[in-house]
Amino acid sequence: MDLQAPFVTPDPARDPFFDGAQEETATLSFICQGCSTPIVLNVLQFVSKANSWFRALAEPERAQVIQFFGCTVGEYDRHPVVKSHDPGFPYFGVSVCRVCGTGHLLYVSFYERQYTRYIATFQGAAKVGA
């Protein structure tokens, strides 16, 4: 996967962009690196699609994404687990700009802090391709 330098880099101290109970209305916003169009994504839809996208990658590409964002891999019950830079679970996925077609690899940390209280943090982003 051809990844450009990240325009959002992971930061364990970054404040979440969402902290609340209405997770279905939570949105992630960023600027397209190809045409400067604002892109807004529903967090739950992104997390769902990102999980499937990441699992479908070949092992070398998964390792590349993990290394690119500086995440670590631990172990739980003898299974590898990717660790986020904060307490959340890392979700990696691609979003394509509807205006110019530029791809963006995104890294969002997402988890349930308390019953029905969800936390989402935008931990990384990079343009995909030239």
- pLDDT for residue 78 is more than 90: no
- pLDDT of 130 reads 64
Query: If we measure between CA atoms, which residue out of 101, 120, 88, 127 comes closest to residue 17?
Result: 120
CA gyration radius, the chain: 14
16-30 pLDDT, tens digit per residue, is 999 988 877 899 999
Separation between Cα atoms, residue 65 and residue 75, nearest integer Å: 18
* pLDDT value for 115: 83
The residue ranges of every structural domain in the chain are 3-10+39-128
Instruction: Taking residues 105-112, report their average pLDDT.
Output: 95
Q: What is the pLDDT of residue 25?
A: 81
Residue 68 has pLDDT above 90, yes or no: yes
